[in-house]
C-alpha cells in the first residue's frame, strides 16, 4: 500500500517538476535572449583554434557552425535586418573547420553579397569567401561562376567578372557556356541581356530549389524592368498621336500600339495609370523589380 | 525519514571519498588548474582569461566525469554486493534509498568543487597578485557548474536505475553532450515547421539545457550575470533534477530485486 503511495507521489512529482522545468526554461530563454548562442561564439573567433579544440571532429563542428550561420541568416532575413555582423565570422569559422564544405561558399557568398535586407550587403567579404573556397577546392569550377556572379551583380566590376568566368572556363570539367559567358562579359557587360543570361545559367545549373526560385524571380524582375520603360515609351507616342493619354489598354490596342493587354511574368495585367505611367499589380510577388513600383511602396514583411 | 536519508547520504559520501578513482580525478583537476598560469605564458595578455577558461572547464568536466562514473555504480554496486537487501530489509523505503544516494553524491561533488575552487582561486591570486571586484562573478560561473552537477547526477541515477553501469554511463554522457547543444536544438525548433517543429520542441524540453548553465566564457571576460538568470537557472536545475530523480524512484519502485 505504502509502495503504491510513494510510486504515485513520485509520478506526481515527476509531472509537476517537469512542467515547472519547462516554465523555468522559458524564463531562462527570456532572460538570455534569442541570440545568446550566436553571440557567444565570438568568444572564440578563430576557426583554426576551434579546429584544434575539436579533437578531430572538425567536420561535425563545421556542420554545426554552418547550421548556425543558416539560422542566423534566416532570423536576420526574417527580421529584415540591415546588419548581419556575425554572418561573415560564422562562415569563416565554418570554412576553416571544413574547407571542403562547398555549400558554405556557394550559399554563404550569396547571403553575404546581396543588398540588405535580402542579404548582408558585404560583396567584398563574399568575394573573399569564394576566393578562399577556390584556393581550398581548385577542382570545383562552379565557384568561379559564383565569383563572376558576385563581381557582376553586387560589385559591378565587369572586368573582374570577365576574369572569373575566363578562369573558370579553363578548367577541363567546366561547361562550354563559361567561355561564352566570359566573351559576353567582355563585349556586353551591363546590358540586361547579359544579366538575363547569367540568371538563366544559374537556374539551369543550380540544384537547390531556393537558388532556382531566386534566379526565376530575378529573371522575372529583369523582364518587368525592360517591359515598363518600353510600355511607357509607347504610351508617350500614343499621346503625341492622339493628343491625350489613353484611359485603358484597349485604346492602345485599337491604335495598334500594343498587340494585347500587356502582362507581367506572373500573368497579371500591368496597371495603366491616369498619368501615363505603368505599374505592376502586386509588387510583393516580384521582389527584385526596380520599375513599375507604386510611389512610396514598401515591401510587405516576410511571412 | 530525515535520519534515514542523512544516513544513506553520508554513507554514499564516505564511500565516494574513499574511492581511488575520485582522488585521481581530483589530483588531475588540481594539476590542470595549477598549470593554467603556464598556458598563459604562451599567449601574451591572456593569462587570466586562459586560467579562468581552463580552471572552470576543468572543474565542470571533472565534476561531470565523477558524477557519471560514481553515479552509475550507486544502485548496481549495492545490488552486486547484495548490500541493498540488507538496507531494504530495514525500515528504509526505496525512494529514501534513491534520494539518499542522490544527495550523497551531490554532497561529494559540492565538496570536490569547493576544493577545486580553492585551488583555482589560489592560482588566480598567484597570477593576478591579488583578487579584484570582478573576480566575484567567477563564483556565479562555479555556482552554475554545481547546478550542472544537480542535473547530471539525477540523470545518471535515472539511467542506472534500469540499465547496466556501462550503458548508464553512455546514456548519461550522451545526454550531457546533447544538452550542451540545447540552444542549437531550440534554434532549429524555432525555424522548422510542421511535425519536425513539434518533435524538435518536445526534444528541447526533454533534453537538459546545459547551454544556459555554461557562462564560463562570459565570466572569463568579467561580464556580469543577471540576478534573474541566476534565479531561473536555479529553479530550472532544481525542477529538472527533481523530475529525473522522481523518474528514477518510479522505476526503482517497480523493479523486481529478487
Q: What is the pLDDT along chain A (303 residues), one digit of tens a residue?
A: 556 777 888 888 888 898 898 888 888 888 876 555 555 555 566 777 777 777 667 777 788 888 888 888 888 887 777 788 888 999 999 999 888 888 899 989 989 998 887 888 999 999 999 999 999 998 888 899 899 989 988 888 888 988 888 888 888 887 777 777 777 776 767 777 777 887 888 788 776 677 778 788 888 988 998 899 999 999 999 998 888 899 889 988 988 888 989 999 888 999 999 998 999 988 888 877 888 888 877 765 443
Count CB neighbours of B51 within 10 A: 24
Q: DSSP readout, chain B? A: -HHHHHHHHHHHHHHHHH-HHHHHHHHHHHHHHHHHHHHHHTSTT-HHHHHHHHHHHHHHHHHHHHHHHHHTHHHHHHHHTTHHHHHHHSS--HHHHHHHHHHHHHHHHHHHHHHHHHHHHHHHHHHHTS--GGGGHHHHHHHHHHHHHHHHHHHHHHHHTTS-HHHHHHHHHHHHHHHHTHHHHHHHHHH--HHHHHHHHHHHHHS---GGG--HHHHHTT----HHHHHHHHHHHHHHHHHHHHHHHHHHHH----
Distance, C-alpha A268 to centroid of its chain? 25
Instruction: Look at B191 and A20 and tell me if their CB atoms are within 8 Å.
Output: no
In this predicted complex, what is the ipTM? 0.75
Task: Match 571544413 to its residue by C-alpha cell.
Answer: A98
Chain B contact probe: residue of A8, A15, A18, A21 with most B CBs at under 10 A:
A21
Closest CA of chain A from B187, distance in Å: 7
Nearest to A37 among B183, B239, B246 (CB): B183
B4 touches chain A (CB under 8 A): no
Q: How far apart are CA A225 and CA A202, in angstroms?
A: 20
pLDDT at residue A213 in the model: 82
pLDDT at residue B21 in the model: 62
Nearest to B184 among A14, A22, A68 (CB): A68
Q: How far apart are CA B209 and CA B176, in angstroms?
A: 9
Closest CA of chain B from A21, distance in Å: 5
Beta bridge partners of A278: A272
pLDDT at residue A302 in the model: 44
Nearest to A64 among B184, B218, B250 (CB): B184
**Tens digits of residue pLDDT in A161-200:** 888 888 888 888 877 777 777 777 767 677 777 778 878 8
Please give the residue of chain A at the shortest CA–CA distance from B243: A14
Instruction: Look at A6 and B94 and tell me if their CB atoms are within 8 Å.
Output: yes
pLDDT at residue A303 in the model: 36
**Tens digits of residue pLDDT in B204-214:** 899 999 888 88
Closest CA of chain A from B97, distance in Å: 12
Beta bridge partners of A263: A269
Residue B24 pLDDT level (bands cut at 50, 70, 90)? low
Q: How far apart are CA B143 and CA B258, in angstroms?
A: 41
Residue B103 pLDDT level (bands cut at 50, 70, 90)? very high
Instruction: Look at A20 and B239 and tell me if their CB atoms are within 8 Å.
Output: yes
pLDDT at residue B45 in the model: 55
Report percent pLDDT > 90 for chain B.
Answer: 28
Please give the residue of chain A at the shortest CA–CA distance from B218: A40
Instruction: Look at B246 and A29 and tell me if their CB atoms are within 8 Å.
Output: no
Chain A contact probe: residue of B144, B243, B254 with most A CBs at under 10 A:
B243
pLDDT at residue A147 in the model: 92
Please give the residue of chain B at the shortest CA–CA distance from A23: B236
**Model-wide pTM > 0.90:** no
What residues in A contact B209, CB-CB < 8 Å?
25, 28
Closest CA of chain A from B77, distance in Å: 23
Query: How many CB pairs below 8 Å do chains A and B form together?
Result: 101
pLDDT at residue B97 in the model: 87
> So where are chain A's domains?
36-140, 215-285
Amino acid at each position: 500500500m505504502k509502495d503504491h503511495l510513494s510510486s504515485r507521489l513520485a509520478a506526481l512529482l515527476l509531472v509537476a517538476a517537469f512542467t515547472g522545468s519547462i516554465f523555468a526554461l522559458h524564463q531562462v530563454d527570456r532572460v538570455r535572449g534569442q541570440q545568446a548562442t550566436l553571440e557567444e561564439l565570438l568568444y572564440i573567433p578563430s576557426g583554426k583554434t576551434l579546429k584544434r579544440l575539436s579533437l578531430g571532429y572538425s567536420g561535425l563542428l563545421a556542420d554545426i557552425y554552418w547550421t548556425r550561420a543558416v539560422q542566423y541568416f534566416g532570423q536576420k532575413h526574417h527580421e529584415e535586418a540591415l546588419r548581419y555582423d556575425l554572418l561573415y565570422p560564422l562562415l569563416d569559422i565554418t570554412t576553416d573547420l571544413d574547407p571542403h564544405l562547398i555549400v558554405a561558399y556557394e550559399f554563404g557568398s550569396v547571403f553575404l553579397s546581396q543588398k540588405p535586407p535580402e542579404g548582408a550587403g558585404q560583396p567584398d567579404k563574399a568575394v573573399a569567401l569564394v576566393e578562399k573556397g577556390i584556393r581550398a577546392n581548385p577542382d570545383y569550377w562552379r565557384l568561379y561562376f559564383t565569383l563572376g556572379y558576385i563581381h557582376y551583380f553586387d560589385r559591378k566590376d565587369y572586368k573582374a567578372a570577365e576574369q572569373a568566368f575566363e578562369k573558370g572556363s579553363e578548367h577541363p570539367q567546366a561547361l562550354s557556356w563559361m567561355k561564352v559567358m566570359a566573351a559576353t562579359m567582355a563585349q556586353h557587360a551591363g546590358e540586361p541581356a547579359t544579366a538575363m543570361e547569367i540568371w538563366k545559367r544559374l537556374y539551369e545549373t543550380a540544384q537547390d530549389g531556393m537558388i532556382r526560385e531566386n534566379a526565376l524571380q530575378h529573371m522575372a524582375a529583369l523582364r518587368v524592368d525592360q517591359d515598363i520603360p518600353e510600355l511607357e515609351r509607347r504610351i508617350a507616342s500614343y499621346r503625341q498621336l492622339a493628343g491625350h493619354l489613353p484611359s485603358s489598354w484597349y485604346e492602345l490596342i485599337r491604335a495598334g500600339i500594343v498587340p494585347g493587354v500587356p502582362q507581367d511574368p506572373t500573368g497579371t495585367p500591368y496597371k495603366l495609370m491616369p498619368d501615363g505611367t505603368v505599374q505592376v499589380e502586386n509588387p510583393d510577388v516580384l521582389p527584385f523589380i526596380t520599375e513599375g513600383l507604386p510611389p512610396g511602396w514598401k515591401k510587405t514583411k516576410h511571412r | 525519514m530525515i535520519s534515514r536519508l542523512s544516513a544513506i547520504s553520508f554513507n554514499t559520501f564516505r564511500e565516494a571519498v574513499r574511492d581511488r578513482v575520485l582522488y585521481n580525478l581530483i589530483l588531475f583537476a588540481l594539476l590542470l588548474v595549477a598549470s593554467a598560469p603556464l598556458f598563459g605564458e604562451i599567449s601574451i595578455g591572456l593569462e587570466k582569461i586562459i586560467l579562468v577558461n581552463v580552471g572552470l572547464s576543468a572543474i565542470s568536466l571533472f565534476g561531470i566525469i565523477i558524477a557519471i562514473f560514481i553515479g552509475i555504480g550507486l544502485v548496481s554496486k549495492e545490488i552486486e554486493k547484495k548490500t541493498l537487501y540488507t538496507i531494504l530489509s530495514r525500515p528504509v523505503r526505496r525512494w529514501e534509498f534513491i534520494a539518499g544516494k542522490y544527495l550523497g553524491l551531490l554532497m561529494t561533488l559540492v565538496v570536490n568543487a569547493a576544493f577545486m575552487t580553492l585551488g583555482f582561486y589560489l592560482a588566480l591570486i598567484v597570477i593576478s597578485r591579488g583578487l579584484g571586484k570582478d573576480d566575484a562573478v567567477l563564483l556565479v560561473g562555479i555556482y552554475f557548474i554545481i547546478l550542472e552537477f544537480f542535473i547530471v547526477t539525477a540523470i545518471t541515477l535515472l539511467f542506472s536505475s534500469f540499465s547496466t553501469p556501462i550503458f548508464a554511463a553512455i546514456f548519461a554522457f550522451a545526454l550531457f553532450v546533447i544538452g550542451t547543444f540545447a540552444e542549437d536544438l531550440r534554434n532549429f525548433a524555432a525555424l522548422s515547421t510542421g511535425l519536425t517543429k513539434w518533435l524538435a520542441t518536445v526534444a528541447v524540453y526533454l533534453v537538459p539545457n546545459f547551454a544556459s548553465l555554461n557562462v564560463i566564457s562570459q565570466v572569463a571576460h568579467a561580464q556580469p550575470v543577471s540576478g534573474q538568470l541566476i534565479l531561473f537557472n536555479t529553479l530550472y536545475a532544481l525542477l529538472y533534477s527533481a523530475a529525473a530523480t522522481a523518474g528514477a524512484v518510479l522505476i526503482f519502485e517497480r523493479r523486481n530485486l529478487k
